[in-house]
């Protein structure tokens, strides 16, 4: 955790951690040669949030990996609930040439089971991400402006340093804190948004 303490002291450090999770089940993690065992991942995330409270967590989740049982799937859902990810990439497993799984494992999970499990993961993930992201509402965030919002020409959109998308009113900003001169906000500008 030394890196996390040093990371928390550096204002220039990125506040997004992409975790290789794939499956919570220890059996599946070892089979896929993943970095973390499930219980260690949760411990890591708790310590990470303690050192860098506004870090965003992201991961990939594969539903229906070779040999995945219903219990493995339920453990994945439990992991998503416990960790509190801000972002993720969720998809059903499919064989890929030039991978360990392609040469050594059998794709034995039925496509309809993969799809059901994927839909369950997406549902749980969205609920948890909404809860995690809602905690930032009302806080002051440094936002990199990307441009006009697709929802309204009266709004701008951008991303926090934790890669959270933010939509905010299009307003001119003061050149200096005490100045009365204002300038329009443009793509590429950093602004403080509450």
DSSP string, 118-179: HHHHHHHHHHHHHHHHHTTTTS-EEEEEEEE-SS-TTEEEEEETT--EEEEE---EESSTT-
Q: Is 13 helix (H, G, I), strand (E, B) or coil?
A: coil
User: pLDDT tens, 80-100?
Assistant: 898 888 888 999 998 888 888
| pLDDT score for 155 | 95
Work out the mean pLDDT of the chain and round it to a whole number. 78
Q: Kindly state the average pLDDT of the residues 109-117.
A: 97
Give the predicted TM-score (pTM) of the model: 0.71
* Residues 99-109 pLDDT 10s: 888 888 889 99
Say how far apart CA 92 and CA 95 lie, in whole Å. 10
> Can you give the C-alpha Rg of the chain in angstroms?
20
Phi, psi of 114 (to 5 degrees): -55, -45
Looking at residue 48, its pLDDT comes to 53
* Local confidence band at 5 (pLDDT 50, 70, 90 cut-offs): very low
Smallest CA-to-CA distance from 28 within 74, 61, 72, 71 is with 72
pLDDT at 38 over 50: no
Mean pLDDT of 47-61: 67
Q: Which residue has the higher pLDDT, 31 or 186?
A: 186
- What's the rounded mean pLDDT across residues 158-178? 84
- Of all residues in the chain, what percent carry a pLDDT higher than 70? 71
Cα-to-chain-centroid distance, residue 164: 9
Q: Please, are residues 163 and 56 in contact by the beta-carbon 8 Å criterion? A: yes
SS3 36: coil
Q: Helices 38-51 and 70-83 meet at what angle, rounded to 10?
A: 10
């Amino acid at each position: 955790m030394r890196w996390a303490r040093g990371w928390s002291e550096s204002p220039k450090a990125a506040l997004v951690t992409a975790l290789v999770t794939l499956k919570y089940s220890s059996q599946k993690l070892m089979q896929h040669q993943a970095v973390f065992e499930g219980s260690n991942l949760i411990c890591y995330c708790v310590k990470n949030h303690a050192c860098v409270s506004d870090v965003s967590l992201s991961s990939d989740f594969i539903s229906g990996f070779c040999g995945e049982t219903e219990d493995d799937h339920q453990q994945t859902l439990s992991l998503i609930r416990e960790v509190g990810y801000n972002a993720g990439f969720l998809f059903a497993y499919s064989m890929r040439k030039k991978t360990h799984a392609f040469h050594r494992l059998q794709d034995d999970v039925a496509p309809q089971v993969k799809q059901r499990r994927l839909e369950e993961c997406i549902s749980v993930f969205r609920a948890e991400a909404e809860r995690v992201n809602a905690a930032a509402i009302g806080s002051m965030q440094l936002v990199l402006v990307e441009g006009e919002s697709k929802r309204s020409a009266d709004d701008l959109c951008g991303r926090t340093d934790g890669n959270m998308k933010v939509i905010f009113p299009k307003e001119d900003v003061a050149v200096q804190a005490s100045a009365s001169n204002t300038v329009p906000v443009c793509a590429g500008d950093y602004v403080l948004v509450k």
